[in-house]
Amino acid sequence: MSSENEGVETICPYCGVGCGLTLQEGEEPGEVSLKPWFDAPVNEGALCIKGGASPQVVNHEDRLKTPLIREDGEFREATWDEALELTVSELERIRDEHDPDAVGFFGSSKVMNEENYLLQKLARRYGTNNVDNCTRMCHASTVYTLRQSLGAGAMTNSMADLESHGDVYWVQGANPAEQHVIAHSNYFRRAVRDGATLIQVDPHANKTSRDADIHLQLEPGTDIPLLNVVLHTILEEGLYDEDFVKERTRGFDHLEATLADFDAAAAADTCGVPLEDIQEAARIYAEAENGAIFTGMGMSQHACGVDNVQNEVNLALITGNVGRPGTGVNPLRGQNNVQGTCDVGAMPNVLPGYQNVDDDEAREAVESVWGFEIPPEPGLTNVEVSNAIGDSVHGLYVMGENPVMSEPDALEVEKRIADLEFLVVQDIFMTDTAEFADVILPATSWAERGGTVTNTDRRVQRMRKVTDVPGNTRHDLDILCDVGTRLFGSGFDFDGPEAVFEELREVCPIYHGMTYDRIGREGIQWPCYEPGDEGDQYLYADSFDTEDGLGVVRGVRHQAPDEVPDDEFPLVLTTARLEEHYNTGTMSTRSPTLRRKTPENFVDVHPADAANRGIEDGEYVVLRSRRGEIVLEANVTEDIKEGVVWTTPHFSDARANTLTNDVLDPLAKIPEYKAAAAEVEPVGEG
């Protein structure tokens, strides 16, 4: 770490690329400025517009600066003692009047490993596994499939090895040039410049498409038929890796049987993509020396998200593109600690290190460190908790999350949240969710505290405090320690994040070999089982982490989205993020630079659909689905296919999730954000 007058090296608070940057404190506490960290391990000093603007939210005038308690429908300022006592007494009351499963705990991928670790420990000490985080909304299906079929719910490879060894990049349902900007500019674009081929599969032409050699612009929700055409072509033309299939996989016969009577022409028609274009892409990937798949929320956020990702696994396994540098199935994770939040066990079915909560041996090992019994049955996911409000759930502890904006069918979520007996929100800004809280606990921002975060390629990195805590705020870690100690007396008395990390590594085998000192400036990629392990740049060189060591191939069939267009809602609505904004916009929409670039929400409409409805470019329109409507600006563009409309989830005053469908993937419980029936029309014609 640099000396104090040179600034402090830390990690960007936005996306999962995990770029390093240097922060310097200004004259006044809270004032921070940024300069490049030139030898940062992931980004070598480069930052995107979001990272560059990230200090703007630290000393922002909207920061919550003192605890608030709702009284007679209004918030009043409170002392920490009052706010925490009320929180603890309400949690105790709900447990006494109902049971521990009557409360849900939402962790956050914006929050550090140590804090999410403490939140899930708090939930389990309280007596429930109802603890989850926003990975449920982005990559729950990816994590599920990768765990089942390969072994670990994470990127198989690393950005660095992919850049230097990859020949073909297959990017499906992701737009890294916009959403993982430095991964794209520092790794993918350099590789393409050096001769690698970039194939993108996405319903929306975007910044990544501009660098792509092939863009397969499919209809939303047709990823399975498209990949089945790819797999069918590879099987028909004998392009699969027979030795790898025989020695390293099981289930190939299931894939063959699934595709035995496959009609490739009809499937290509369903996708709205010429058959020969898909076949050409299939041959390029299958014949590459090293082919790497990148997967994003365009794949995961479907009711068939698990099967979507399984088909990517099928493609990688039958062509032998796993277990070497430059290959693999690589989810591009959303937030700067979404990987770590899952790693440390803030999920209802797993303990730290992805140890199943219903595995007696794993549970007992963690219990021996924690000193209390952990409930043996998996809990509810965050959407299930939300759906159970008023039924079995009566209280909610939300740390750094914003479910009123992030969950699908937002108007219904809002009604349910308003029905809670008790809601406590711990955050740095007033959010759409905090508006409904009984208690608000003001936390410190990313620049005011230290800890670790884990990026998209499993690299655990340290974040460091640069400036003092504003007003009457407290670190998330201190708040959780205080709540835990008030509730249980012991087990939550930690002297800072390093002490928490030391306990975490005792119960999390994949982090066991790490210490703060060893993480240092470079970070360490898990798995790091023992002190001295270097961590792994890529996984599965010799075997998979499945019971028999084999990778699982499983054929899957097309499942149309839950809602398909009809006379009333003849369009398909799909959503995705922008370069200059970030998820529910809590931070990014408060940044003057980012807000100036894109000040409000908009909807992309194809020129033919616009003409049919009398919509002009730049005009305000009503976008509606069965669940509600929002008013926003129309962007008439050929970037989207006819019959499809596209918008973003970032803006509170035109909330895309008012419109989205809350149907879930049955296994991973991720909502289908990417396809809903919709209609758009000029304002005033509804």
The residue ranges that bind ligand SF4 (CB under 6 A) are 12, 14-15, 17-19, 43, 47-48, 50-51, 180-182
Q: How far lies 403's CA from each of 132, 412, 644, 649, in Å?
A: 12, 11, 26, 12
User: In 3-state terms, what secondary structure has residue 421?
Assistant: coil
The crossing angle, in degrees rounded to 10, of helices 223-236 and 264-271 is 150
Q: Which two tokens stand for residue 619?
A: 């005009």
**Rg of the Cα atoms in the chain:** 24
CA distance 548 to 546: 6
Q: Which residues contact 397 (CB under 8 A, 6 or more apart)?
A: 87, 91, 103, 104, 105, 106, 119, 123, 424, 426
Write the CA distances from 283 to 246, 268, 286, 416, integer angstroms.
Answer: 21, 16, 5, 50
183 or 528: whose CB is closer to ligand SF4? 183
For the chain, the 3-state helix, strand and coil shares in percent, each to the nearest 5, are 35, 20, 45
Strand 291-295 to 168-172 pairing: parallel
- Cβ neighbours of 4 (radius 10 Å): 10
Tokens of 103: 């409360």
Pick 177 or 440: Cβ nearer ligand SF4: 177
Tell me the backbone φ, ψ of residue 659, rounded to 5 degrees.
-100, -25
**Looking at beta carbons only, is 14 or 144 nearer to ligand SF4?**
14
Q: How far apart are CA 351 and CA 155, in angstroms?
A: 20
Pair type for strands 571-575 and 644-647: parallel
- Report d(CA 304, CA 223) in Å as an integer: 10
Residue placing its CB nearer to ligand SF4 in the complex, 339 or 382:
339
8 vs 603, beta carbon nearer ligand SF4: 8
Q: Which of 82, 138, 85, 133 is nearest to 110 (CA)?
A: 133
Cβ-proximal residue to ligand SF4, closest one? 51
Reduced 3-state DSSP string for 96-116:
HHCCHHHEEEECCCCCCHHHH
Rounded Cα distance, 286 and 320, in Å? 9
Q: How far is the CB of 337 from ligand SF4 (least distance, A)?
A: 11
Closer to ligand SF4 at the Cβ: 11 or 556?
Answer: 11
- Pick the closer one to ligand SF4 by CB: 110 or 121: 110
Nearer residue to ligand SF4 within complex by CB, 12 or 317: 12
Q: How far is the CB of 452 from ligand SF4 (least distance, A)?
A: 15
CB nearer to ligand SF4: pick between 249 and 336: 336
Phi, psi of 509 (to 5 degrees): -55, -35
Q: How far is the CB of 186 from ligand SF4 (least distance, A)?
A: 9
Distances (CA, A) of 289 to 166, 314, 330: 8, 17, 17
How many beta carbons lie within 10 A of that of residue 608, not counting itself? 13
Contact by Cβ (8 Å): 366, 140: no
Terminal-residue alpha carbon distance, the chain: 59
Provide the edge-to-edge strand list for the sheet that holds 20-25: 8-11, 20-25, 32-36
Residue recorded with tokens 């490879």: 157
Residue 573 beta carbon to ligand SF4: minimum distance, rounded to whole angstroms: 26
Nearer to ligand SF4, 579 or 662 (CB): 579
Quote the least distance from Cβ 189 to ligand SF4, whole Å.
Answer: 13
List the one residue out of 472, 647, 413 whose CA is nearest residue 64. 472
Answer yes or no: are the C-beta atoms of 537 and 160 closer than 8 Å. yes
How far, in Å, CA of 418 to CA of 413, rounded? Answer: 9
Nearer to ligand SF4 by C-beta: 34 or 553? 34
For 631, the token pair is 């008013």
User: In whole angstroms, how far apart are CA 502 and each of 238, 361, 506, 535?
Assistant: 51, 21, 7, 18
Residues 47 and 36: beta-carbon distance below 8 Å? yes
Cβ-based nearer residue to ligand SF4, 34 or 224: 34
C-alpha 206/C-alpha 224 separation (Å) is 21
Name which of 51 and 450 has its Cβ closer to ligand SF4: 51
Give CA–CA dist 58/61, Å, rounded.
9
